Structure 1
Amino acid sequence: MTTLGLIGLGRIGAFHADTLTSLPEISGLVVTDERPDVVAEVAAKYGARPADSVEALLSSGVDGVVVAAATPAHAELALAAVERGLPTFCEKPIASTAAESARVAEIIARSGVPVQVGYQRRFDAAFAAVKEAVDSGAVGALHTVRSTTMDPAPPPMDYIKGSGGIFRDCAVHDFDVIRWVTGQEVVEVYATGSVQGDPLFTEYGDVDTAAIVVRFDGGALGLVSAARYNGRGYDCRLEAHGFDDTVVAGWDQGAPVRNADPRFAAPGDFPAGPPHHFFMDRFTEAFRTELSAFVDVVGGAPIRGATVADAVEVAWIAEAATESLRRGVPVRIEEVRQ
């Protein structure tokens, strides 16, 4: 049985607390956050052991650590756990910038301590089936992959202010999954975007709607669409188009779309709904499978999810997209690496 430490009890951290305490492999959970009242509340709700600081949690005898704090703290917290030799699960991104992510990755690689990064779409059954179809050659030569992420509403503007922008905060999931599905590396990115909602996006140097074209080294093209406003619900889809076949994920009964074809207008026709409300209900089972896989990592198994090296590559793609939006031109990955 395994005892884990959970650092950070905000939206995703509290969600992870619920997931972790439901896993039969977990015998104990130690939790901490900067807010003592939240620590006490979560500990009482889930029967977890509270810790009054990160240091106290790391010294409490846990077997591994889950980092779910705010993005700016990820690098410091992950390295603190790694320095103790504790296998670590870190929510994306591993650090606030690509350059910092690369530096952190070097330290982790030298340590030999396993670190898994939170890209849960890899553990979704439909997304995994798309990956299998591509890998098996069932779709033939892959020429295009499309990934869509649209939130029903933006997160709080205080979060947006420090998120690093839509490419680093939201579209990184798309960047990771298209890189994973294609098995190819990105060589060039062109990104554009607009602000059609809250003007604070402009003030913070961000956009609320973005489109990104990605060129892979194997010749495939990637098309990513990201938006903060989609009132019908949380829209997350993946399409892989090959010479022989097309496979999709996310076109389920909870897809937040209204079919305009009059032949499918009757209630109960596809999609029957209700629409997915947010990423946590869309990917509940994927998060559970992802964290269960991390428990295996704590026990000595290899990482089945995203590695720190994967996270660094995704960070470079996000960096290139950010630069492309600023300059209005395609940006090669090798440019931002330099």
Structure 2
Amino acid sequence: MIRMALVGAGFIGSVHAENLTAHPSIEFVGVYDVDEVRSNELAARNHTRAIDPVEVFDRSAVDAVLIASSTDTHAAHLRRAAEAGLATLCEKPIDLDLGDALDVVGTVASGGCPAMVDFNRRFDRDYAELHRAVHAGEIGNVELIQMTTRGPALPPLDYIAVSGGQMRDQTVHFFDLARWITGEDPESVFAAGSVFTDPRMTELGDVDTSVVILRMPSGALVQIDSARRTGYGYDERIEVLGSDGMIEAGRQRVGAVTRYRAGNLVTDGMHPGWFERVAPTYRTALDHFVAAIEDGTSIGPTLPEALKAQAIAEAAASSLRSGELETITYPAFAATS
């Protein structure tokens, strides 16, 4: 049994707590949160206990840490886990500041402990099959990729204000997927965005609707459209066009029933929110993390891979501001990863 502690008892922490409790290879040691009431309540619901930071990073009692706390604390917890010699599964991002993220990744690497960033879309069943088919050469050389990520409603503005913006918070998952699917690091990015929901988004320096174009070294193009509000549910899909064919991971509906009536068809709609659509991927990502620790196999997405996705997001955010094509500069540490 792998002894795991959880840091963070908010919404996503509660998701991870349920998965930790249910996993047959994990002993859920305990949960820590700065809000003691919240950590006690989450611990009670999952038949474990609330613990303090010293216990979280105690190598004699813990083998691995899952970091699901607020974004501004990820780097500090990662560093402390590395210094304690603990394997770590961390929610994205490593840190909103790319320089600080690079610094802590260096610390983790020097310690040699397994560390993974939970870019959970890689563990979506359909995206995994799409990735397999592309890398097996089933559609020839990749030439054009279309990605869509559209949420049902604008998140609260207090969340938007600390999220890092649409490029770093929402679209970053698809920057990671673009690298993963193509096996290439994009060279340049152009982004354009607008605000259609709340005009206060402009005051925050953010957009709610955007289109991003990435150019790969092979010449392949990736277009990503992102929207914070659809009015019809959560919509996410990927299409890859190759020299010998096309493969698509289509939008997922809540069901597959179609009713045929005079003059119209009525079909099941979309998931109401992002979590309902991607919930299984958190369990699959945890399975991968545990298997890698147990078997000593490769783990991923790695911290350097997460740095690359963040570097793309930084360049895309810069392009939004400048209105210009931006060259993507990758941190030296991540350049060969």
Q: TM-score, normalised by structure 2?
A: 0.92
**What secondary structure, in the 3-state scheme, does the structure 1 residue paired with 2:163 have?**
coil
Question: How far has the Cα of 1:56 moved from its partner?
Answer: 2.9
Question: How far has the Cα of 1:229 moved from its partner?
Answer: 0.6
Aligned 8 A contact 2:152 2:272 in 1: yes
Among 286, 291, 294, the residue aligned to 1:291: 286
Question: How far has the Cα of 1:300 moved from its partner?
Answer: 4.9
Aligned 8 A contact 1:153 1:231 in 2: yes
Cα RMSD over matched residues? 2.2
Counterpart residue number, 2:306: 311
Counterpart residue number, 1:279: 274
Greater shift in the superposed pair: 89-98 or 328-337? 328-337
Cα separation, 1, equivalents of 2:121 and 2:5 = 23
Cα separation, 2, equivalents of 1:225 and 1:336 = 26
Cα separation, 2, equivalents of 1:264 and 1:135 = 43
Counterpart residue number, 1:134: 134
Counterpart residue number, 2:335: none
Cα separation, 2, equivalents of 1:335 and 1:297 = 27
Q: Which amino acid aligns with 1:323?
A: S
Counterpart residue number, 1:48: 48
**What secondary structure, in the 3-state scheme, does the structure 2 residue paired with 1:186 have?**
coil
Question: How far has the Cα of 1:264 moved from its partner?
Answer: 9.9
Q: Which amino acid aligns with 1:77?
A: H
Q: TM-score, normalised by structure 1?
A: 0.92
Question: How far has the Cα of 1:265 moved from its partner?
Answer: 4.1
Q: Which amino acid aligns with 1:63?
A: D
* 1:211-234 Cα distance to aligned partner (Å, 9 max, x none): 100001121101011111112111
Cα separation, 1, equivalents of 2:182 and 2:233 = 27
Percent identity for Structure 1 against Structure 2 = 37
Q: For 1:162-201, what aligned pairs fall within 5 Å after superposition? A: 162-201=162-201
Closer/same/farther in 2, CA of residues 213 and 300 from structure 1, 3 Å limit: same
Cα separation, 2, equivalents of 1:298 and 1:119 = 18
* 1:138-171 Cα distance to aligned partner (Å, 9 max, x none): 1111101121111111222111111111101111
Question: How far has the Cα of 1:283 moved from its partner?
Answer: 1.7
**What secondary structure, in the 3-state scheme, does the structure 2 residue paired with 1:238 have?**
strand
Question: How far has the Cα of 1:23 moved from its partner?
Answer: 1.2
Greater shift in the superposed pair: 294-303 or 178-187? 294-303
Closer/same/farther in 2, CA of residues 16 and 204 from structure 1, 3 Å limit: same
* 1:111-147 Cα distance to aligned partner (Å, 9 max, x none): 1111100111111110011101110111111101121
Q: Which amino acid aligns with 1:232?
A: Y
Greater shift in the superposed pair: 244-253 or 139-148? 244-253
Among 326, 332, 337, the residue aligned to 1:331: 326
Q: Which amino acid aligns with 1:45?
A: R
Cα separation, 1, equivalents of 2:165 and 2:252 = 29
Greater shift in the superposed pair: 306-315 or 224-233? 224-233
Question: How far has the Cα of 1:298 moved from its partner?
Answer: 3.2
Aligned 8 A contact 1:63 1:87 in 2: yes
**What secondary structure, in the 3-state scheme, does the structure 2 residue paired with 1:100 have?**
helix
Aligned 8 A contact 1:123 1:305 in 2: no
Closer/same/farther in 2, CA of residues 250 and 16 from structure 1, 3 Å limit: farther
Aligned 8 A contact 2:116 2:303 in 1: yes
Instruction: Say how many residue pairs are matched.
Output: 328
Q: For 1:104-253, what aligned pairs fall within 5 Å after superposition? A: 104-253=104-253
* Structure 1 unaligned regions, length at least 5: none
* 1:279-300 Cα distance to aligned partner (Å, 9 max, x none): 2221222211101111123335
Counterpart residue number, 1:58: 57
Closer/same/farther in 2, CA of residues 152 and 303 from structure 1, 3 Å limit: farther
